[in-house]
């Protein structure tokens, strides 16, 4: 028996943003593993097993998928957005590193997807037009003081910052704390983009100033892009503004 595992990025939600290679991997799989709401985005196919799990069992999910592949199944692990950005590709690699030797011999590949910050940036214009970074606000896998140090360093160095996992029921205070910290390093007029459910039916995109950003509602379906001091807003009569970061920086 020869099995394998493909980690697939579903993109932000629109079927049109799923890559052809990812769609082909999904169609060829014997079994699909993934967080339940992400699996719900994949059409049901006769004869294809589906194994939904909760959002906080990434390593267990990866081990189960690797075990099925080792038993000879053609397995796909689905992940929202891009599987390498705060998602399942890292969990699978970690499971392989610490798992049985047989898992290292498996045919393993990763199919990239459009991650949330890219989908939101495309809606707004080009806020990621110059140097940028991505930071998860979740402190489930790292201490909050480390998040604060990284935010301060990125803002101080002039990076545009994409925030993932900005707020949850268990972490209702962290986004406000992050904005308060960033106001010590960035002008109050710095553009802040909020994109909720971008490329899905419930999509909303909001442009705010850093001084007012704490008043905008956000949840785990929201990606946030915080501009640098160079990021510009171009107003357009009767149309949404363009938000962009110039490609060049003066001496």
The 10s digit of each residue's pLDDT in 50-61 is 999 988 899 999
Q: What is the pLDDT of residue 147?
A: 97
The 10s digit of each residue's pLDDT in 40-89 is 999 999 999 999 998 889 999 999 999 999 999 999 999 999 999 999 99
Same domain, 39 and 84: yes
Could you tell me if 203 and 15 are in contact, meaning their C-beta atoms sit under 8 angstroms apart? no
Same domain, 80 and 140: no
Per DSSP, the three-state class of 104 is helix
CATH code for the domain in which residue 237 is found: 3.30.950.10
Same domain, 102 and 146: no
Q: What is the pLDDT of residue 170?
A: 87
Same domain, 86 and 28: yes
Same domain, 121 and 234: yes
Q: What is the pLDDT of residue 128?
A: 98
Question: pTM for the full model?
Answer: 0.94
Q: What is the pLDDT of residue 251?
A: 56
Q: What is the pLDDT of residue 202?
A: 92
Angle (CA) 99 112 155, round 5°: 95
Per DSSP, the three-state class of 123 is helix
Same domain, 50 and 94: yes
Is 9 part of a structural domain of the chain?
A: yes
Phi-psi region of 239 (alpha: psi -120 to 50; beta: other; left: phi over 0): beta
Which residue, of 96, 114, 132, is where some domain finishes?
114
pLDDT under 50: residue ranges of the chain? none
Is 251 part of a structural domain of the chain?
A: no
CATH code for the domain in which residue 18 is found: 3.40.1010.10
Which residue bears the tokens 């011999």?
A: 105
Please give the residue range of the domain that contains residue 44: 4-114
Per DSSP, the three-state class of 177 is helix
Is 137 part of a structural domain of the chain?
A: yes
């Amino acid at each position: 028996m020869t099995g394998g595992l493909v980690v697939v990025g579903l993109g932000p939600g629109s079927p049109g943003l799923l890559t052809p290679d990812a769609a082909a991997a999904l169609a060829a799989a014997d079994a699909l593993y993934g967080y339940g709401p992400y699996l719900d985005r994949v059409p049901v196919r006769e004869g294809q097993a589906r194994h939904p799990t909760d959002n906080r069992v990434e390593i267990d999910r990866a081990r189960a998928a690797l075990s099925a592949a080792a038993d000879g199944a053609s397995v796909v692990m689905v992940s929202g957005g891009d599987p390498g950005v705060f998602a399942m590709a890292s969990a699978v690699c970690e499971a392989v590193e610490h798992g049985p030797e047989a898992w290292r011999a498996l045919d393993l590949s990763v199919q990239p997807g459009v991650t949330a910050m890219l989908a939101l940036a495309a809606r707004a214009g080009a806020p990621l037009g110059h140097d940028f970074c991505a930071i998860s606000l979740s402190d489930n896998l790292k201490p909050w003081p480390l998040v604060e140090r990284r935010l301060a360093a990125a803002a101080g160095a002039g990076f545009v910052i994409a925030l993932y996992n900005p707020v949850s029921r268990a972490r209702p205070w962290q986004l406000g704390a992050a904005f308060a910290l960033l106001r010590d390093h960035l002008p109050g007029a710095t553009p802040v983009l909020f994109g909720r459910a971008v490329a899905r039916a419930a999509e909303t995109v909001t442009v705010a100033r850093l001084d007012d950003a704490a008043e905008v509602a956000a949840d785990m379906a929201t990606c946030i892009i915080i501009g640098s001091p160079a990021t510009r807003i171009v107003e357009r009569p009767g149309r949404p503004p363009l938000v962009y970061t110039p490609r060049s920086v003066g001496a």
